[in-house]
Amino acid sequence: MSQKSRREFLKLAGLAGAGLVAAPAVALAGHPVAGANDEELGMLYDATKCVGCKACMSACKRVNGDYGSLSYEQAKFDPDKLWDAPQDLTGSTRTLIKLVKDTPKEWSYVKYSCMHCQKPSCVSVCPVAAMTKDKITGIVDYNKNTCIGCRYCQIACAFNIPKFQWEKAIPQIVKCDLCKNTNLKQKGISACAEVCPTGAIMFGKRKDLLAEAKKRLAEHPKQYVNHIYGEHELGGTNHLYLAALQFKKLGLPELKGEAPAEFSEKIQHTIYKGFIAPIALYSTLCFIAVRNMKKGNGHAEEQKKTDDGGINEPR
C-alpha cells in the first residue's frame, strides 16, 4: 500500500469517527433536558409511620417472585426454612426494610428499593438499552432478554440499588419496577403500597405525593426533618421520603441536584452509539499493526538475503 493511500485511509477513518461523535451530539443539544415530570408514578415513604412489619417485603416477593426469578433467603436461625430474612437488597430481594438506631432514643425504620429517578443513570450507561424509562409512567424497567450482564447499571446507580444474581446459572439484574408487570397491571397499585397497614407507603402520581409530603411537613413541622428526600436529588426521583432522622443516617446519600446521567448519556449515546466509533478506531489500529508487521517481515527478508549473499561470496 502506498504512502498516499495509507494517509487517505487514516484520514477517512478519523473523519468517520469524528462524524459519528458530532452528529448525535447536535441532536442531543437540540433537546435540552426538561424539568421533573410530576405526572409520573411513584411512592412516598413516610418513615415515621412505618412499624417495621415487613409486609411490603413479603408482598413484593410473593407477587413478583415468579416473574423476577426471586428466591427466599433463609435466616441463619431458621434451619426449617420458614422465614425469608434478607439482610440487604440482593439478587432475590427488591424491597428491604431496615431498623436504624442513632441513639437508644433515636431510631427509625427505612425502606430501600429503586428510586425511579427522573434522569436515571442506569438507563444512560446501559449499552444495549436493557434498562429503560417509560415515557408515560416514569417507571425504570429492566429487560432480561436484552441484558448482556455488563453490570454498568450497578456501578452507575448512586443509591446502590440494582443487584446481580451471581448464584444463578441464568442471572439477571434485580430491582423494583413498581410491579409494572404484576400488581400494577392487575390492580393499579404496587404490592408494597397495597398491603402497608399504616399507610407508610403511598402510591400515586409524583405531583400528588409531593403535595401530600409538603402538607405533612406544614402540619407537623416538629415531627419531620424539613426536607423531602428525592424532590431534587439527582434531578429528582419518583420514590420520595419523609423521616424524623437525618436522611444520611438512614443510609440515603447526600446528593446534588444535577443529574450525572446527562453527562454519561452524551458519552454513551454519541461516541459509543452502535459501537461504530470504536470499530473505526480498532480498524485503524489493526491497519497500523498489520502494516508494521508487514514492514517488519520485509526487513527480515532483506536482512536474510544480505546474509545469504555474504555467505556465498567467493573467497
pLDDT over 70 at 185, yes or no: yes
pLDDT of residue 307: 64
pLDDT of residue 143: 96
Quote the percentage of the chain above a pLDDT of 70.
Answer: 78
Cβ–Cβ under 8 Å, residues 102 and 245:
yes
pLDDT tier, 25 (very low <50, low <70, confident <90, very high otherwise):
very low
pLDDT digits (tens, 9 = 90+) for 106-159: 999 999 999 999 999 999 999 999 999 999 999 999 999 999 999 999 999 999
Q: Give the whole-angstrom CA distance, residue 133 versus residue 262.
A: 14
Helix, coil or strand: residue 117: strand
Cβ–Cβ under 8 Å, residues 183 and 191:
yes
Residues sharing a CB contact under 8 Å with residue 66, sequence separation 6 or more, in sequence order: none
pLDDT over 60 at 314, yes or no: no
pLDDT of residue 264: 62
**Do the bridges between strand 239-242 and strand 41-46 make them parallel or antiparallel, or are there none, so unpaired?**
parallel
Domain boundaries, the chain: 41-257
C-beta atoms surrounding 160 within 10 Å: 13
Alpha helices (H) along 150-275: 152-156, 183-187, 191-195, 206-219, 261-266
pLDDT: is 305 or 47 the higher one? 47
Among 54-63, 245-254, 299-308, which is the least confidently predicted range? 299-308
pLDDT of residue 216: 98
> Is 286 annotated as contributing to ligand binding?
no
Give the phi and the psi of residue 305 in degrees, each rounded to 5: -65, -40
pLDDT tier, 51 (very low <50, low <70, confident <90, very high otherwise):
very high
pLDDT over 50 at 32, yes or no: no
pLDDT of residue 271: 65
Among 16-20, 39-43, 184-188, which is the least confidently predicted range? 16-20
pLDDT tier, 33 (very low <50, low <70, confident <90, very high otherwise):
very low
The residue-averaged pLDDT of 284-313 equals 72
The mean pLDDT of the chain is 84
Cβ–Cβ under 8 Å, residues 181 and 190:
no
Give the phi and the psi of residue 162 in degrees, each rounded to 5: -60, 135
pLDDT digits (tens, 9 = 90+) for 63-108: 998 888 888 888 888 888 788 889 999 999 999 999 999 888 899 9
pLDDT of residue 295: 75
pLDDT over 60 at 20, yes or no: no
CATH of domain 41-257: 3.30.70.20
Query: Helix axis angle, 3-29 relative to 276-312, nearest 10°?
Result: 170
